[in-house]
Structure 1
Amino acid sequence: MKAVIMAGGKGTRLRPLTSNVPKPMVPIANKPILIRIIELLKKHGFDEIIITVGYLGKIISEMVGDGSDLGVKITFAWEDRPLGTAGSVKNVENELKETFLVISSDILTDIDLSKMLAFHKQKHSVATIALTRTDIPVAFGIVVTDEENRISRFLEKPGWGEVFSDKINAGIYILEPEILRFIDEKEEFDFSKQLFPRLLEMGHPLYGYLGDYYWLDIGNPKKYIQANHDILTKKVRVKIEGAEIKENIWVGKGTIIESEANIWSPVIIGDNCKIEKGAIIDRLTIVGDGVFIGKGAHLKRSIIWDNATIQGHAKLENCVILSRVDIGEYASVQKEAVIGDDCQIGSESVINPEKMIWPNKLIEAGSIVTENVKSGTLVHRGLFKDGITGNINIEITPEFASKLGAAFGTLLGQRAKVAIGRDNKNISRMIKRALISGLMSSGIDVYNLEILPIPLITYAIRVHSASAGISVKNPYSDLNSISIRFFDQEGIDVSRKMETEIEDIFFKDKIKRVPPQHVGDVTNPVRASEIYVNDLMEFIDYSKIIKRKPKVILDCANGASSIIAPSLFQKIGCEVISLNAQLTPSLNLHNRSNPQDTLSDLSKTVRVLDADIGIALDEDAGRALFVDNRGEILEGDRALALFIKARLLEKKGGSICVPVSASQIIDEICEALDGKVIRTKLGYRPLIEKLIENKCIFGGDETGGFVFPEFQFARDGILASAYLIEHIVKEESQLGELAAEIPKFYMAKKIIPVPYQFRGKVMLNLIEEAYEHNISTLDGIKIYLDYGWVLIRPGSDENTFEIYSEAFSKSEATQLNRHWGNVIEDIVHTIETGI
């Protein structure tokens, strides 16, 4: 007899199980659903099978073939567009001249099809529908029958007030070929919604077959897990592959189970697996072919697909691990979580209950996954890495931002006040508003600063006595991402301790929402910009600037500084020509990913217009780079030295703070001007902490980030630029002349790829290599030489090392980098090969 298997669906509800595998080929107890259905059909004499396919149909046809291996004849009917359940059968009408069976490809059942066929013949039915009972029929289409089992009514997904039967359509039909003429051709047409009601209305005899059999619709991951467990507990009568080495423990060929491994029934283990000593394969676990399970791993009630790797001491409970997944040591995958094909789950990671990870994702070691991971490739161990940055509407969504705001609010406590500002982009507005919603929900009062550059946001935090602050911006280097920064009550980026506390609340869902009467308020401070401008004009002595009227070319990078910087420089007496100072919300961002390109354009403009100075602010105005009156680009290290000299002259000495990578020339300047150098680790937070601790008069680095602690504890490119103009005018000089007074020095930087896991060994080997030299280990290894120095440190990118050097000539600095780069490469080679 002939049967039609409907296998054209996309299996959307089962994703990520069906992201790469068609739904009919999803394994149930290590065998695809479709193969189990074919075996059931063959058992009851249905040996000519037509499979209707659409989505990923080629994969199905290649895996199943012509059926000869299964003892049946199989042909395929291809759908180039959705035809519906009945339409797909109508599509093969020419092959169906006698009584035939139709069955769905997403059910697990042991129905006696022979008895159903006999029932169909006995009743002279044109269509017999297999029925099954359920406690919750409202999720299905119910069928009402009389005492003879003749169908009298169909009701598609009724409300509880319409439930007159507990019998539902099981998706298995025995049909007479004449009913096919009632199916509309070349249209999407459904059995239960259209054909059967039409036949019933026309008076044709339709019957429901209600036998004693197992049936389960595998419609979602939870039902998928249940189907596997039901096979192990023998609720369904199907064949289990492998040898039953003990009662209810089935093991495939070539599998190695070490002596001290523990296997607790019922369990199925596929072919060619290895289970190391100390591993526990707990009850109701199914392991596919070629799976490795390391020492001390514990698997309970879990489904593991082929060629997965479960490293030592990992813990899996009631979850699904798909093909070629690598679960790291001590990782935990919790109840009803699903890990898609080819994912890597880092050691000590935690995948929270019911979370789905789509294929080809890398979950960094120590991560806690609290949301489904569909897009992107990498999930970091924490939220923070120089603030929080991610792809807009993929990694950072309004929902994510609202939860993040609520987590921050929970940490701060009810009635705390948070100042929040943004750049001029619509996506930043969207995320800022979501953050505000989350903050308010945890009882926080919000100062909505609207569009402001970051130095004004950090300044407003202190002016308005806020408990904390937040900035939201679209980074200049990536149109598709968003960046969120959190500040404490001093306007300083929150400490690592606070970051960890925010992450703990966020990931562990410790958020505290307040009752409606305690929801926070939103106010719009009207003078935030005005206060900043007035205070800056008091900090700067601009009386001489007004007299000289220097010509300034100001590049605002189309950032939020565009609303304040041009007018501010005019107020202190400059003639200002603005570049890239537009605030269009949907503007394509001025590309600042390569600052040299911007500086080159700025340099040309300065020369053409005979300006006194060119200023390039970054898009949030935290940093500033400069071009002198001759159009020469002032390198970041030289600008830093110039600022330090200016501050020491003004203050007649004092402590200044710079990173360990800053030029040795700074020490010479400080020695000459009664200054003291405080060296810090690289990074903004270490610089600020040391600056406060040592009551420094100035801090900065070679990237153009300059801090004037008398004004605020934050990088401020606007203030730094105004101060430099004041210094030039006060010295009655030009920027080029002042820069020329700084002794010549030459610096170079190089980045070397180094696998993350080799970092420790590389550092130890470098210390051994440098033992004859004077070294510092403040941040990495700084080696002092007769003709300069070299600093080697693990990079901000976790798979790199950074090399900084300074020497008497450019060639010597470059040679230092090349030499120590070769040393690192040799160390890595030795670690990898043992040679």
Structure 2
Amino acid sequence: FKDGPILIGYDGRDSSIVIAKTICSTLNFVGIDCNLAGLVPTPCLEYATKKLGYKGGIMITASHNPPQYNGIKPAASDGVEISREDEAKIEDIYFTKAWNNSSGKWGTTGSDDRVISTYFEGIKSQVNTSAIKEKKFIVVLDVGNGAQAITAPELSKELGCKTITINEKIDSTFPGRGSEPTPENLDKLSQTVLDSNADIGVAFDGDGDRSLFCDENGKILTGDKSALLLTKFILEKNPNSTVVTCLNSGSSIEHLAKQSNSKVVRTKVGSVEVSRKMVPINALIGFEENGGFMYGKHNQVRDGAMTLALVLDLLASTKKTLSQKIEELPPSFTTKDK
């Protein structure tokens, strides 16, 4: 982060903008310039950090956690969350009080209105937008009163989809169904998909980096299922690739990867572990079983909107429905106690 500039974004929690401005002031005090991206999803902030040439990014969010929580998520200049080792260095600086003092030169805080448009262009460059638009999909978005309310509906419309949005008002209390989408709290999404004869539904978590999908029959898919489906689709076009996933993901991924002469690398549980493993080996795909999917050609981080675009790209390439594509996957069983 030395010298900056640093890009700062925040989610819709009541305390987020206060924390963001406090961070800007603190960085300015030690001579570092900042730009505010405003209220954006985490992956939007991360992609813009990389694409627009920032020295780093800081997202103020507690992701899927309850409303009373908040947090600070730093990203390096490559647009990927900092490593566990770098997190430990920051904690050590804090607990030993070894922070920087003012050099006498103040930094400045501005704004950057390119962030969202840059994010959209990045996503659209990775999919066949013409084919998606021709299909005129009906899509139901459950943005969960979270940060994807800023971006996902507009992106869906730019891809030519008839877009129906629920829980669309940003609200720090997440009154619609909570900030964590689970198969148990997405009844409204399922019913709206059925009522509107939609092709798919998708639910995002609080900061918009994860997505759970609903097929045209109203069935909520586990994160493993949607990840396997996308992995199969992507590897068919990109054989001899590398997939990174956590130890707790199902074993079906090895079977799929073998079909395209690709390999699977397993990591400890956690998105940081997956992302930071992807970077040095230039992995094409990363995923977690909780709905976090990472497409390396775009950015090696979880991204709910990029995942939505990839699912639409898949459906645009076939005459089959989402449920029919899921049926083509090898049988698997997932159970969770959390």
TM-score range normalised by the length of the shorter chain: over 0.9
The equivalent residue for 2:82 is: 494
In the alignment, which of 551, 557, 574 is matched to residue 161 of structure 2?
A: 574
Structure having the higher strand fraction is 1
- 1:480 equivalent to 2:73? Answer no
In the alignment, which of 658, 667, 677 is matched to residue 245 of structure 2?
A: 658
Task: Name the SS of the counterpart of 1:455 in structure 2.
Answer: helix
Q: Which digits, 9 at most, give the CA deviation of each residue in 1:641-660, with x for residues without a partner?
A: 11110111121342211112
- The equivalences for 1:148-227 within 5 A come to none
8 Å contact kept, 1:458–1:492: yes
In the alignment, which of 25, 28, 37 is matched to residue 437 of structure 1?
A: 25
The equivalent residue for 1:226 is: none
Q: Which digits, 9 at most, give the CA deviation of each residue in 1:625-675, with x for residues without a partner?
A: 001011111122211211110111121342211112222211111222322
- C-alpha separation in 2, matches of 1:489 and 1:574: 33
8 Å contact kept, 1:417–1:466: yes
Q: Which digits, 9 at most, give the CA deviation of each residue in 1:788-834, with x for residues without a partner?
A: xxxxxxxxxxxxxxxxxxxxxxxxxxxxxxxxxxxxxxxxxxxxxxx
- C-alpha separation in 2, matches of 1:485 and 1:726: 30
8 Å contact kept, 2:93–2:99: yes
Q: CA deviation at 1:549?
A: 0.3
The equivalent residue for 2:132 is: 545
Q: Which digits, 9 at most, give the CA deviation of each residue in 1:346-379, with x for residues without a partner?
A: xxxxxxxxxxxxxxxxxxxxxxxxxxxxxxxxxx
- C-alpha separation in 2, matches of 1:442 and 1:554: 42
Q: CA deviation at 1:500?
A: 2.2
- The equivalences for 1:409-488 within 5 A come to 412-413=1-2, 415-488=3-76
In the alignment, which of 74, 96, 101 is matched to residue 513 of structure 1?
A: 101
Q: CA deviation at 1:535?
A: 2.1
- C-alpha separation in 1, matches of 2:176 and 2:31: 35
Change (3 A) 1:472 1:683: same
What one-letter code is carried by the residue in structure 2 that aligns with 1:619? G
Q: Using CA pairs below 8 Å that are at least 6 residues apart, which structure has the higher relative contact order?
A: 2
- The equivalences for 1:44-443 within 5 A come to 412-413=1-2, 415-443=3-31
- 1:621 equivalent to 2:208? Answer yes
The equivalent residue for 1:682 is: 269
- C-alpha separation in 2, matches of 1:479 and 1:681: 27
Q: CA deviation at 1:585?
A: 6.4
Task: Name the SS of the counterpart of 1:688 in structure 2.
Answer: helix
The equivalent residue for 2:234 is: 647
The equivalent residue for 2:115 is: 528
Change (3 A) 1:490 1:543: same
- C-alpha separation in 2, matches of 1:571 and 1:645: 26
- C-alpha separation in 1, matches of 2:155 and 2:192: 21
- C-alpha separation in 1, matches of 2:67 and 2:171: 14
What residue ranges of structure 2 are gaps of 5+ in the alignment?
none
8 Å contact kept, 1:476–1:590: no
What one-letter code is carried by the residue in structure 2 that aligns with 1:444? I
What one-letter code is carried by the residue in structure 1 that aligns with 2:52? H
- C-alpha separation in 2, matches of 1:586 and 1:747: 30
8 Å contact kept, 2:181–2:212: no
- Residue correspondences, number: 338
The equivalent residue for 1:698 is: 285
- C-alpha separation in 1, matches of 2:213 and 2:162: 17
Q: CA deviation at 1:712?
A: 0.9
Change (3 A) 1:664 1:426: closer
Q: CA deviation at 1:546?
A: 1.1
What one-letter code is carried by the residue in structure 1 that aligns with 2:121? N
Task: Name the SS of the counterpart of 2:201 in structure 1.
Answer: strand
- C-alpha separation in 2, matches of 1:593 and 1:730: 31
Change (3 A) 1:423 1:749: closer
Change (3 A) 1:689 1:512: closer
Q: Which digits, 9 at most, give the CA deviation of each residue in 1:308-353, with x for residues without a partner?
A: xxxxxxxxxxxxxxxxxxxxxxxxxxxxxxxxxxxxxxxxxxxxxx
Q: Which digits, 9 at most, give the CA deviation of each residue in 1:33-85, with x for residues without a partner?
A: xxxxxxxxxxxxxxxxxxxxxxxxxxxxxxxxxxxxxxxxxxxxxxxxxxxxx
- 1:723 equivalent to 2:288? Answer no
Q: CA deviation at 1:593?
A: 4.2
Task: Name the SS of the counterpart of 2:218 in structure 1.
Answer: coil
Q: CA deviation at 1:587?
A: 6.9
Q: Which digits, 9 at most, give the CA deviation of each residue in 1:158-185, with x for residues without a partner?
A: xxxxxxxxxxxxxxxxxxxxxxxxxxxx
Change (3 A) 1:584 1:497: closer
Q: CA deviation at 1:513?
A: 2.2
- C-alpha separation in 1, matches of 2:281 and 2:240: 14
Change (3 A) 1:438 1:723: same
What one-letter code is carried by the residue in structure 2 that aligns with 1:706? F
Task: Name the SS of the counterpart of 1:543 in structure 2.
Answer: helix
- The equivalences for 1:2-17 within 5 A come to none
Task: Name the SS of the counterpart of 1:573 in structure 2.
Answer: coil
The equivalent residue for 1:592 is: 179
Q: Any runs of at least 4 consecutive aligned residues in structure 1 with deviations exceeding 4 A, and if so which?
A: 584-590
What one-letter code is carried by the residue in structure 2 that aligns with 1:680? T
8 Å contact kept, 2:190–2:218: yes
What one-letter code is carried by the residue in structure 2 that aligns with 1:727? L
Q: CA deviation at 1:612?
A: 0.3
Change (3 A) 1:691 1:670: same
8 Å contact kept, 2:12–2:147: yes
Q: CA deviation at 1:586?
A: 7.4
What one-letter code is carried by the residue in structure 2 that aligns with 1:471? M
Task: Name the SS of the counterpart of 1:421 in structure 2.
Answer: strand
After superposition, the CA RMSD in angstroms is 1.9
What one-letter code is carried by the residue in structure 2 that aligns with 1:670? A
- Of all paired residues, the percent bearing the same amino acid is 27
- C-alpha separation in 2, matches of 1:559 and 1:662: 26
8 Å contact kept, 1:479–1:589: no
Q: CA deviation at 1:741?
A: 0.5
Task: Name the SS of the counterpart of 2:91 in structure 1.
Answer: helix
Q: CA deviation at 1:727?
A: 0.5
- 1:605 equivalent to 2:189? Answer no
What residue ranges of structure 1 are gaps of 5+ in the alignment?
1-411, 752-835
Q: CA deviation at 1:523?
A: 1.6
- C-alpha separation in 1, matches of 2:203 and 2:130: 24
- C-alpha separation in 1, matches of 2:116 and 2:329: 35
Structure having the higher helix fraction is 2
